[in-house]
Amino acid sequence: MRIVRDHVLTEFASPFFASLIGLLSLFIIGRGMIQMADFVFNKSVDFFLVVQLLLFSLPFMAIFVIPMSVMIATLVTFRKLSSDNELTALRASGVSLSKITEPLFVLVFVFCLISLLLNDRLASTTHYSYRLLLTKIGIENPAAALEEGTFIKKFKNFVIFIYEIDKNKLKGIRIYQPQEGRPVRTIIAQKGELVSIPEQGIIKLKLIHGTSDEPDPKDPSKLYKLNFKTYDLPLNLSDIKESDKPGKKPKDMTMRELAAEIDRLGKDGIKATYALSAEIHNKIAMSFSSLVFLVIGIPLGIISRRSDKSMSYALALIVATLYWSLLIAGKALAQKGIASPLICLEFGNVLVGAIGLFMYYRVVKS
């Protein structure tokens, strides 16, 4: 069995590292080189700062590349073992498929744990460093009052969350106003617009189509829902210190920081922390996607016996597209509080993993 184990791991290692290097190179060329050229030639940014930006983005790229490399390596390995009739010979000798694949499951589980550490610690830290460096070189406004995807607590009496910002156009706005001894006042708007009034030192948030909690005239300790077409909310710029660093987005935080932020906001009476919970489950789901790709990659590799490797890459692309689509859609639903983050983010792993287990079982029994 030791000979079989070493042979399978050797067959797996070569396409895995080739895919890892190749996909990272594609990411670097596709994102890094184009961005570097734009920064250096069009925006006159120092070359070494741009190289720093590229290095900071590598751990985040690796999160996507490792599962894809596992998928490609699994398909290539078992397509080759099947087409060379090595699997048939081993199974005829009394070696079951589960015994053949056992060392790969152990290896890929280790990859999952490494990915979890990479995703939680290194990628979160470097992604925030990436944003800080962008601020430093002036690509982002150092005194930016609002930033998408993070709980903004720079304005007195308000906590603001905005899903999407495109210049002065906003989408998906939630504003919380904690009030001592009273329920948290919440304003929700589908979209909005930023109107700067520098002479008064304020930014006016023009909210469009939403609801606002307003004090009940009969009992000010209670709130009632008010529907509005437009709602103007002034925000005082004097509340912002220019030396403030950009707030951390959920993807910039470790799972411990995310849990602490959920607890902190909960103590202020803010329970709508869907984006934070979604990020925790997103880190876990992505980290263990390699195991899911291995489960479905083994039977797909055995079934596809064509000598052309392009078949393996095409299958990997189809499965990866399905998986990432489910993950992206699940995260969007979880962030908006439409469904449980656990269900939304793990659905892709459960569905693709269940299909893989079914196919694996059929191949084992065949």
- Distance set, CA 102 to CA 8, 33, 84, 291, 295 (Å): 10, 40, 20, 12, 11
Range in 72-76, 115-119, 181-185, 307-311 the model is least confident about: 307-311
Q: Are 270 and 178 in contact (CB under 8 A)?
A: yes
Average pLDDT, the chain: 82
β-bridge pairing 202-215 and 223-236: antiparallel
Residue 364 pLDDT exceeds 90 = no
The model's pLDDT over 9-67, given as tens digits with 9 standing for 90+, comes to: 889 999 999 999 998 888 877 766 676 776 666 556 677 777 788 888 888 888 989 99
pLDDT value, residue 286: 92
CA dist., res. 107 & res. 73, Å (int): 13
321-330 long-range contacts, Cβ below 8 Å, gap at least 24?
Answer: 322/352, 323/289, 323/292, 323/293, 323/348, 323/352, 324/348, 326/351, 326/352, 327/282, 327/285, 327/286, 327/289
The model's pLDDT over 321-352, given as tens digits with 9 standing for 90+, comes to: 889 899 989 888 888 778 888 888 989 999 99
For the residues 298-304, what does the mean pLDDT come to? 84
Residue 307 pLDDT exceeds 60 = no
Q: At what angle do helices 274-287 and 310-335 cross, to 10 degrees?
A: 160
Location of structure tokens 């195991």: 291
pLDDT value, residue 225: 86
CA dist., res. 276 & res. 111, Å (int): 25
For the residues 262-281, what does the mean pLDDT come to? 81
Q: Which helix (H) or strand (E) holds 123?
A: helix 123-136
Residue 280 pLDDT exceeds 60 = yes
Q: Are 193 and 208 in contact (CB under 8 A)?
A: yes
In 4-15, which positions are buried (b, 16+ CB within 10 angstroms) versus exposed (e)? beeebeebbeeb
pLDDT value, residue 118: 92
Adjacent-strand bridge partners of 227? 211
Residue 285 pLDDT exceeds 90 = yes
Residue 310 pLDDT exceeds 70 = no
Residue 109 pLDDT exceeds 90 = yes
Residue 178 pLDDT exceeds 70 = yes
The model's pLDDT over 119-156, given as tens digits with 9 standing for 90+, comes to: 998 998 898 888 878 766 644 443 345 677 878 877 77
Categorize the per-residue pLDDT at 188 as very low, low, confident or very high, splitting at 50, 70 and 90. very high
- Phi, psi torsion values for 93, nearest 5 degrees: -85, 0
Adjacent-strand bridge partners of 175? 160, 187
Q: Which helix (H) or strand (E) holds 166?
A: strand 159-166
Range in 56-60, 92-96, 285-289 the model is least confident about: 92-96
The DSSP symbol for 40 reads I
SS3 312: helix
CA dist., res. 252 & res. 148, Å (int): 13
Write down the domain spans for the chain. Answer: 2-138+279-365, 144-245
Q: Dihedral of CA 34/35/41/42: which sign?
A: positive
The model's pLDDT over 210-259, given as tens digits with 9 standing for 90+, comes to: 999 887 777 767 788 889 999 988 877 665 544 456 678 888 889 999 98
CB atoms within 10 A of CB 275: 23
SS3 266: helix
Burial of 41 (0-12, 13-18, 19+ CB in 10 A): exposed
pLDDT value, residue 29: 78
Token pair for 186: 């919440």
CA dist., res. 74 & res. 71, Å (int): 5
pLDDT value, residue 45: 66
CA dist., res. 203 & res. 182, Å (int): 27
CA dist., res. 119 & res. 258, Å (int): 13
pLDDT value, residue 237: 61
The DSSP symbol for 247 reads P
| Stated pTM of the model | 0.72
pLDDT value, residue 35: 67
